[in-house]
Chain A
Amino acid sequence: KAGVTQTPRYLIKTRGQQVTLSCSPISGHRSVSWYQQTPGQGLQFLFEYFSETQRNKGNFPGRFSGRQFSNSRSEMNVSTLELGDSALYLCASSGDGYSGANVLTFGAGSRLTVL
């Protein structure tokens, strides 16, 4: 069973540019969540998509957005990049359910460096 696949694994951008990250969940999983990991702020929840609808959103500015496709693949986009957006972006998928009990399976992450 294939795991969660994130692309690209590494990328470098300059301030002001935008970036799109992709996540393919485990087959059959309809929930995809995104997290940002930085040395200063740790792991922070960005948003969650379930059946193409945003179900939860963290406390991030509107420059951070996402979407989910009918095959459950998800993308997140960051516009007008800032130096502080340099981070490891982790995607996680899980099965159905919304009680908070689901175990999230994480991908290896996309490491974004903003120069």
Chain B
Amino acid sequence: AQKVTQAQTEISVVEKEDVTLDCVYETRDTTYYLFWYKQPPSGELVFLIRRNSFDEQNEISGRYSWNFQKSTSSFNFTITASQVVDSAVYFCALSTRGNAGNMLTFGGGTRLMVKP
């Protein structure tokens, strides 16, 4: 069975602050994929990044960066110099090769509020 835990249910920061969203996962599969999605108030989930279990290289995309550590089963997401437009709910998700198809296990989500 898979499990994703996002311990931070809500984070509030002031614009331009850096913020890190934590994600811890559990799986017995050796091949798996980790995702981050953003859910703005409009409702749809917007894909941000995918990482496979064999690629522990950290990634940076503009103000966004991701830190994947298999040793601690964590896949944390950092927003540098946060902006009001970053306000949304962020979900970490896991899928495994063992699933015959596309089935994501989501964490509970972290609501990020960026105040001006």
The chain A residues found within 8 Å of chain B, CB to CB, are 3-4, 31, 33, 35, 42-45, 48, 50, 55-56, 58, 88, 90, 92, 94, 98-109, 111
Asked if B43 lies at the interface with its beta carbon under 8 angstroms from chain A, I say yes
Known: A88-B43, A103-B35. A45 touches B105 (CB 8 A): yes
* Central interface residue in A33, A58, A99, A105, by most chain B CB within 10 Å: A99
Contacts of A109 in B (CB 8 A): 43-44
What's the minimum C-beta distance from B29 to chain A, rounded to whole angstroms? 9
Asked if B57 lies at the interface with its beta carbon under 8 angstroms from chain A, I say no
Contacts of B91 in A (CB 8 A): 43
Is the CB–CB distance between B43 and A31 below 8 Å?
no
Number of residues in B with C-beta < 8 Å to the partner?
29
A90 to B37, CA, bound (A): 13
Is the CB–CB distance between A106 and B97 below 8 Å?
no
Is the CB–CB distance between B45 and A100 below 8 Å?
no
Known: A42-B108, A42-B109, A43-B91. A102 touches B102 (CB 8 A): yes
What's the minimum C-beta distance from A57 to chain B, rounded to whole angstroms? 9
Asked if B64 lies at the interface with its beta carbon under 8 angstroms from chain A, I say no
The chain B residues found within 8 Å of chain A, CB to CB, are 31-33, 35, 37, 42-47, 50, 52, 91, 95-109
Is the CB–CB distance between B100 and A56 below 8 Å?
yes
Contacts of A42 in B (CB 8 A): 106-109
Is the CB–CB distance between A99 and B97 below 8 Å?
yes
Known: A43-B91, A100-B95, A103-B47. A31 touches B102 (CB 8 A): yes
Is the CB–CB distance between A31 and B45 below 8 Å?
no
Q: Which one of A3, A98, A111 contacts B101 once the chains associate, using CB atoms below 8 Å?
A: A98
What's the minimum C-beta distance from B12 to chain A, rounded to whole angstroms? 19
Contacts of B52 in A (CB 8 A): 101
What's the minimum C-beta distance from A52 to chain B, rounded to whole angstroms? 14
Contacts of B95 in A (CB 8 A): 100-101
A109 to B50, CA, bound (A): 22
